Amino acid sequence: MLTAAEIEDGLEDAMSSQANRVIDIDNLSLTFETNDGPVHALSDIDLKIEEGDFVSFIGPSGCGKTTLLRVIADLEQPTAGSITVNGVSPEQARINRAYGYVFQAAALYPWRTIAKNVALPLEIMGLSREEQQQRIQKNMELVNLAGFENKYPWQLSGGMQQRASIARALAVEPDLLLMDEPFGALDEIVRDHLNEQLLQLWAKTNKTVVFVTHSIPEAVFLSTKIVVLCPRPGRIYDVIESDLPRDRNLDIRETPEFLKIAHRVREGLKAGHSYED
Amino acid sequence: MPALLAWFVVAMVVVGLFSTAFKPDIGILEAPQLALCLVLLAILGVRYELGFMRNWIGDLALGVVAALAASLLISAAGRHEGDAALGFWALTAATWAAFWLFVERLAIWKSRSLLTTRIVNLAIPAIFGITLLILWELIVTGAGVPKVLLPAPSEIWLRMTTSVPTLWADFQQTFLKAVLVGFALGCGAGFLIAILVDRVPFLRRGLLPIGNLVSALPIIGVAPIMVMWFGFDWPSKAAVVIIMTFFPMLVNTVSGLAASDAMQRDLMRTYASNYWQTLFKLRLPMAMPFIFNALKINSTLALIGAIVAEFFGTPIVGMGFRISTEVGRMNVDMVWAEIAVAALAGSLFYGLVALLERAVTFWHPSIRG
Amino acid sequence: MSDTALTAPRSTNPFAGLMSGTLGPVLVVVLAIFAIWYVAAVALNTPFQQDMYERANQTDVPMSQLVRDTLAQERPVLPAPHQVIVEIWNTTVEKKITSKRSLIYHSGITLSSTLLGFLIGTLLGILLAVGIVHSRVLEKSLMPWVISSQTIPILAIAPMIIVVLNAVGVSGLLPKAMISTYLSFFPVTVGMVKGLRSPEVIHMDLMHTYSATRLQAFWKLRLPYAVPYLFTSMKIGMAASLVGAIVGELPTGAVAGLGARLLAGSYYGQTIQIWSALLMAAFLAGSLVALIGALEKLTLKRMGMAR
Ligand SMILES: Nc1ncnc2c1ncn2[C@@H]1O[C@H](COP(=O)(O)OP(=O)(O)O)[C@@H](O)[C@H]1O
Ligand SMILES: [Mg+2]
């Protein structure tokens, strides 16, 4: 039996999550059953993400960053614990088209032009032609791809392809953007440029972004909250709230505040590692 | 290699000019045009080695002179059927080598425009085929091979032009009726069943191994049964074609539908896309290369199936029927005429499917590359 | 459910394990095929049987009698599986191998021309592929013809090749084998060209840095890479070769071989004989392909390529 106080407590929790809690993960674990025995990809994850946050997951490869993001996107089912997205189950959130997902590779369809690729989710959502056209144009401009509408993916460079896939995710106009190492395969200069653009976009639209990376500067530069994960079993080692101003540019990377946060992230990564070996 | 070929041409021309071309005692010098032509050919052949006209004009001239020499040789052989001697064979070899040289040069042509590249790429196999025909003609007429063994291409052509109505009637019966109907129904059924099978995992696991096995079986053997069931006319042939084309389509479509990778399917999932949307927007386009593979295989299987099925009973019309009866009467030129029609129809059919494939799967690395 | 995830439902049904592999479903499908076969046999043979009853003035024959009779006709429209199996048994185990009525004798004849044709076809295919991979001219001039050679319905020429070669005194195995060769060289050529070209550029470059000769690059790089392709195309080639051998037997006047059995059966309406020859051919094709499959496994294991 629940006491009245507990119910009230729960209610309050629900109220506040309705107000601005986008992702609420409680005690979540995920174990893959493989032929070589179980793999504990995630264990005992607790994480709250508020509206307007820019959250980065950072950690060595194999620590479960992708898996955690996929759980949020309902591409993977947890084996224990609970998770809500926008106050509902991930499946319901997915059906509501609550988020846009950017994969590690561009995953564009080679038989569609860039514009048609961006239109793909819009067609599935059943939007009108004019609406589609308008969103394509807007988002192609946003990622600096105007003029490449009628090219095919294989005619574009890797960076342009990745930008197209971001445009495709943005075209859904989600309040939540899930990005899995979107710039991992790009060179440093393109990456810097896209980081800046992403940040501007985020500042302009007040979206919530969950961003997976294994680059410390990238994580610190972009995030308001950095989640350091460590492997075997995959778990959260540290959560760092960044006190850098929301409005920042690439020069901030030289400041002592930036370096201090970067140092803390690096320490976290090191500790998480040595703990294991 | 080209140098070797060039000197080979020269040597053969020299041999040809100074030995008897035809029995009993006719030298090639008695046909001055031909002799002149061949001398020119030899000179053009070795011009690279001698160091002049090292350009495409020289290459083209080589081709033109080789063609001229071939036609003169053919007419000379026609006048002395079956009397060929050493000189003639040497000249035949020289012409063949000259054509080879020509193709060799064409293959290393570097062209600026896409169009010329296309034309050259078409011309090379065409010239190769024509060379084979010329050799066939020269050898058959030169050596006087009996008609019942192997008629010359010119005789086959003559036969084709004089028996157009028969050929057309056979073509209609076998190709337009049995092949096309069977092909359409067999491929269509294979495709639809594949989609059904793909939807039901149990069927996919149960039917696919069997489909794979059946694809390797000599299905053509059902022809006598189909003839018994559906009678002598074209429906029984169409039935054979349906069965033969069904399984390749089934197996290929099912594996094509499984060809999309996990990330692409996840992408559709994040859009909460339903079964049909995923099918039409992702899985079918992805399956197209496989489907066209089946269509190409089937385009040749269909013709084979229909013709062979006619061996087991037909009304007195049809390509298979004609071939088996004319072989019995030793009318080999008619048989070859029928084969030429079949080959032409088969190649056109295949070419059409391949063209369609280019248009539909333009995005596939094997095509766009 | 609105999405397409093909997640297998976890159930506690003890049959679930059996049915989630391939064996269970295949068995079920095979059983279903047999069931349909029996039903179809009864349905297709009933009209003739009823005719018989009418002629014998038998009225109101019980259903069980009808079923039994339709499955035991001498020349049924569709023989029942057990009839075919009995026929196969009678013509294999019960007959001496040398007998003209032994199915093993006929299979042996078809098998020998299949194998000879397959052997020549495979060698020819490999040779052509090696030439095509190493010579630009051959590639450009020959490859299109290799492909269009298969649009010529060679099976249509089969009777002529055989009759003509018979006329010049070449008879027996070789003419039939030639048709098998023609059908089987094609998949081998295409597969081998693909296989010999499958080493990645980086590996070819590596060979280049060793200044390996073309021959060395061929033996050490191209050939090992091509082996899996070779086996795959040999399976297709073997199946095609058998088709060639069977069709090659059609025009020789139904003397010997599985094709001849098919033709003779269709002349005399011996449906059971047709079906038994057909099943035998299917069995032959299946075992030949399986044999190559086993050889493939063994070779790849030896080469350390087995997955
Ligand atoms: N579908 C799966 N089946 C089995 N194991 C998996 C699967 N997906 C991921 N894993 C395992 O889970 C762990 C975490 O993987 P992942 O989330 O991809 O790591 P990261 O993205 O941080 O590099 C790894 O050990 C990986 O091998
Ligand atoms: Mg990852």
CB-CB contact of A269 with A60 (8 Å): yes
Residue B78 has pLDDT above 70, yes or no: yes
Neighbours of A38 (CB within 10 A): 11
Residue B65 has pLDDT above 90, yes or no: no
Contact (CB<8Å) C4/B273:
yes
Q: How confident is residue A179, by pLDDT bands cut at 50, 70 and 90?
A: very high
**Percent of the residues in chain A that have a pLDDT greater than 90, as a whole number:** 14
Residue C163 has pLDDT above 90, yes or no: no
User: How many angstroms separate the alpha carbon of residue A40 from the centre of ligand 2?
Assistant: 15
Place of tokens 């033996």: C219
Question: Per-residue pLDDT tens for A59-76?
Answer: 888 888 899 999 998 888
Average pLDDT over residues C157-174: 73
What strands lie across the sheet with A21-34, from one edge to the other?
Answer: A37-50, A21-34, A80-85
Q: Which of B261, B265, B266, B267 to mutate to test the interface with A (most CBs of A within 10 A)?
A: B267
Question: Per-residue pLDDT tens for A90-115?
Answer: 888 888 888 889 888 888 988 899 99
Neighbours of B65 (CB within 10 A): 23
Report the complex ipTM. Answer: 0.80
Q: Three-state SS across chain A?
A: CCCHHHHHHHHHHHHHHHHHEEEEEEEEEEEEEECCEEEEEEEEEEEEEECCCEEEEECCCCCCHHHHHHHHCCCCCCCEEEEEECCECHHHHHHCCCEEEECCCCCCCCCCCHHHHHHHHHHHHCCCHHHHHHHHHHHHHHCCCCCCCCCCHHHCCHHHHHHHHHHHHHHCCCCEEEEECCCCCCCHHHHHHHHHHHHHHHHHHCCEEEEEECCHHHHHHHCCEEEEEECCCCEEEEEEECCCCCCCCHHHHHCHHHHHHHHHHHHHHHHHHHHHC
* Residue A34 CA, closest ligand 1 atom number: 4
**pLDDT for the residue C151:** 67
Mean pLDDT, chain A, whole residue set: 84
Mean pLDDT, chain C, whole residue set: 79
DSSP code per residue over B41-74 = HHHHHHHHHHT---SHHHHHHHHHHHHHHHHHHH
C-beta of A61 in contact with ligand 1 (< 6 A) = yes
Residue A184 has pLDDT above 90, yes or no: no
Q: How confident is residue B351, by pLDDT bands cut at 50, 70 and 90?
A: confident
Q: How confident is residue A212, by pLDDT bands cut at 50, 70 and 90?
A: very high
Neighbours of C64 (CB within 10 A): 8
* Residue A59 CA, closest ligand 1 atom number: 22
User: How many angstroms separate the alpha carbon of residue A72 from the centre of ligand 2?
Assistant: 14
Question: Per-residue pLDDT tens for B237-257?
Answer: 999 999 989 988 998 898 889
**pLDDT for the residue C121:** 93
Between A173-182, B169-178, C251-260, the lowest mean confidence (pLDDT) is in: C251-260
User: How many angstroms separate the alpha carbon of residue A68 from the centre of ligand 1?
Assistant: 10
**pLDDT for the residue B288:** 92
**pLDDT for the residue A3:** 54
Please choose from A39, A75, A269 the residue to mutate so as to test ligand 1's pocket, defined by most ligand atoms within 8 A of CB: A39
Degrees to nearest 5, angle at CA B305 with B303 and B307 = 70
CB-CB contact of C156 with B170 (8 Å): no
CB-based contact, C152 to chain B, within 8 Å: yes
Domain ranges of chain B: 2-145, 161-368
Q: Give chain A's end-to-end CA distance (angstroms, integer).
A: 45
**pLDDT for the residue C80:** 83
Between A246-255, C87-96, C231-240, the lowest mean confidence (pLDDT) is in: C87-96
CATH architecture type of domain B161-368: Orthogonal Bundle (1.10)
Written out in words, the top-level CATH class of the domain with range A20-98+175-277 is alpha beta
**pLDDT for the residue C153:** 67
**pLDDT for the residue B343:** 85
Contact (CB<8Å) C160/B210:
no
Q: Which residue(s) pair with A50 in the sheet?
A: A21
Between A187-196, B165-174, B328-337, C139-148, the lowest mean confidence (pLDDT) is in: C139-148
C-beta of A35 in contact with ligand 1 (< 6 A) = no
Contact (CB<8Å) A124/B267:
no
Distance CA A67, CA C190 (A): 43
User: How many angstroms separate the alpha carbon of residue B180 from the centre of ligand 1?
Assistant: 51
**pLDDT for the residue B146:** 81
Q: How confident is residue C17, by pLDDT bands cut at 50, 70 and 90?
A: low
Highest mean pLDDT among B53-57, C95-99, C112-116: C112-116
Contact (CB<8Å) B263/A73:
no
Residue numbers in B near A125 (CB within 8 A)? 271
Residue B133, phi-psi category: left (phi > 0), alpha (psi -120 to 50), beta (remainder): alpha
C-beta of A195 in contact with ligand 1 (< 6 A) = no
Distance CA C248, CA C253 (A): 11
C-beta of A39 in contact with ligand 1 (< 6 A) = yes
Q: Between these two residues, C119 and A144, which has the higher pLDDT value? A: C119
Q: How confident is residue B157, by pLDDT bands cut at 50, 70 and 90?
A: very high
Q: Specify the residue with its C-alpha closest to ligand 1, atom 3.
A: A32
CB-CB contact of C279 with C84 (8 Å): yes
Domains in chain C and their CATH numbers? 14-78 (no CATH), 103-302 (1.10.3720.10)
Backbone dihedral angles phi then psi of residue C168, each to the nearest 5 degrees: -90, 10
Provide CATH 3.40.50.300 ranges for chain A.
Answer: 20-98+175-277
Contact (CB<8Å) B268/C77:
no
**pLDDT for the residue A7:** 54
Q: Which of B323, B334, B350 to mutate to test the interface with C (most CBs of C within 10 A)?
A: B323
Q: Choose among B65, B25, B19: nearest CA to B45.
A: B65
Residue A271 has pLDDT above 80, yes or no: no
Residue contacts between B and C (CB atoms, under 8 Å): 187
